[in-house]
A and B are shown apart, each in its own frame.
Chain A
Amino acid sequence: MNADVLRGVVAAQVAGRDVVLATRLSDGAQELIAAGAPASELGLDGDAVATALRTGDPRTVDTRDGAVFLRPYIRPPRLIVVGAVHIAQALVPIAQIAGFEVTVLDPREGFATADRFPGAALVREWPDRVMDTLRPDDRTGFVALTHDPKIDDPALVAALRSGAFYIGALGSRKTQGARRERLGALGFTASDLDRIHGPVGLPIGARTPEEIAVAVLAQVIGALRL
């Protein structure tokens, strides 16, 4: 591997560009392929490159000149946390350790501060104003933690209209029932609303904010990987 290839991979990661590094295993010949660019030098099938970019899964493919290992480097999964609350203070750092790019959204003064959430992207806005900008996609998880319908509901509406791979909302079964009624009145069907995990998190008997954060992150990872 030429050091310039390694620099190219790291530069793409820093810039948030998806790339695939193709390596011919017989002699180490390499090609760094950007998303959308045609693969050429190693005789690769464009579909194989596109699949690697979409799934993020490395694989070895056969070419007329031998086996080529495709190693995609794609942007990390994102987690949008609405509510810069106590649970979020535990959820955000463990999600970051697990490799998520985390955004914390809370319009309230004093909640989404850098002191409370070092290293997270902080958005001090009402969800209905910024969810369009954040554009949740199928590699984005979403968790609503404020307990306040004025903040959680508009965010959940935007999440339900997106392709987010996970949607969770804090609240007891009673709270979830009331929420289903409110969101149902906005036109969401029962199967739409079934996308919302609530009560949020895997049922592990979590008691403290920190334990709830572990339960939530485990459920998010399960939705991403299973």
Chain B
Amino acid sequence: MDTNSTNTNADPVLAQALEWLGEGRRVALATVTRTWGSAPRRAGSHMAIADTGDFSGSVSGGCIEGAVIQTALEVIDSGVPRTLEFGVTNEMAWEVGLACGGRVHLFVEPITPGPLANPS
């Protein structure tokens, strides 16, 4: 079979997170764990956030990304993962919510360099 494939199947958001880690940046990963109603991004969607505030990917249609980045920066500093909830039933919805009326749960975790990753 004569094939010429350059398909690469790595999730670009996860690949970006690895690239940032390789540059020595500190990184957090936010993941949609559950959705109700008309949430714009499915469960499993990722957003990677670097300590510089750069981010890749999305966890909504843009409504809550700013708040998630803020939490991610705190998680990078504390080293402790957090769960977040956004939606019309949440107090935060008045400031940061989903205009479409959906509800989402997120998990935001720091990515810690592996013990063998950088043997210096």
Taking Cβ atoms with an 8 Å cutoff, the residues of A that contact B are 1-4, 6-7, 9-10, 13-14, 16, 23, 25, 27-28, 57-60, 69, 71-73, 75-76, 96, 101-103, 114, 118-125, 130, 133
Cβ contact within 8 Å between B4 and A7: no
Using Cβ atoms and an 8 Å threshold, which residues of chain B touch A133? Answer: 1
**Chain B: minimal CB distance from A18 (Å):** 11
B44 at the interface (CB under 8 A from A): yes
Q: Which residue of B lies closest to A16 (CB)?
A: B9
Cβ contact within 8 Å between A2 and B114: yes
Interface of B is mostly: loop
| Known contacts A71-B31, A123-B2; A6/B18 CB under 8 A | yes
Q: Mark B75-100, 1 if CB is under 8 A from A, else 0.
A: 00000110100000000000000000
**Chain B: minimal CB distance from A71 (Å):** 5
| Known contacts A28-B109, A71-B44; A121/B3 CB under 8 A | yes
Using Cβ atoms and an 8 Å threshold, which residues of chain B touch A75? Answer: 9
B: interface residue count bin: 35 or more
Choice from B1, B18, B33 contacting A60 with Cβ under 8 Å:
B33
Taking Cβ atoms with an 8 Å cutoff, the residues of B that contact A are 1-11, 14-15, 17-18, 21, 29, 31, 33-34, 42-44, 80-81, 83, 107, 109-114, 116-117
* Residue of A1, A71, A101, A118 with highest tally of chain B CB at under 10 A: A1
Using Cβ atoms and an 8 Å threshold, which residues of chain A touch B2? Answer: 122-125
Cβ contact within 8 Å between A121 and B5: yes
Choice from B9, B21, B111 contacting A14 with Cβ under 8 Å:
B9
Q: What CA separation (Å) do A127 and B99 show in the bound complex? A: 49
Would you list the 6 A-B pairs with minimal beta carbon distance, nearest first?
A4-B114, A28-B81, A58-B44, A121-B5, A58-B43, A3-B114
